[in-house]
Amino acid sequence: MVERVRGLLRMAEDPAVTDAESQAFTAKAAELMTRHAIAEAEARAQRGEAAESVTRLDFPVSGVGGHGKARVKALAGIAAAYGCQSAVRGNTSANTERTLIIVGTATALDALRVLLPSITMQMEASARFTAREHVANLRELRNYDRSALATERSRFYRSFIRAYGYAVAERIREFRARLSADPEPGGAGESSGGEAPRGAEVVLRTDVDRVQEEFQKRFPQLRPTRPERTHHRAGYRAGYLRGRRAELGMETAVGGGGTSSLPDAE
Q: Each residue of 100-133: pLDDT tens digit?
A: 999 998 888 988 888 898 889 888 988 998 999 9
pLDDT of residue 202: 60
Q: Return the number of other C-beta atoms located less than 10 Å from residue 257's C-beta.
A: 13
Lowest mean pLDDT among 21-35, 131-145, 175-189: 175-189
Lowest mean pLDDT among 25-39, 167-181, 192-206: 192-206
- As a whole number of angstroms, the distance between CA 148 and CA 264 comes to 25
pLDDT band at 171 (very low <50, low <70, confident <90, very high): confident
Is 118 a member of any domain? yes
Domain boundaries, position 133: 2-245
Is 160 a member of any domain? yes
Is 67 a member of any domain? yes
Is 234 a member of any domain? yes
Q: Span 135-159, mean pLDDT?
A: 88
* Whether the Cβ atoms of residue 81 and residue 169 lie closer than 8 Å to each other: yes
Rg (CA), the chain: 20
Is 259 a member of any domain? no
Is 187 a member of any domain? yes
The candidate with the shortest Cα–Cα distance to 266, out of 166, 157, 168, is: 166
Percent of the chain with pLDDT over 90: 27
Q: Span 21-46, mean pLDDT?
A: 73
- The tally of domains found in the chain comes to 1
Is 230 a member of any domain? yes
Is 261 a member of any domain? no
Under DSSP, the state recorded for 232 is: -
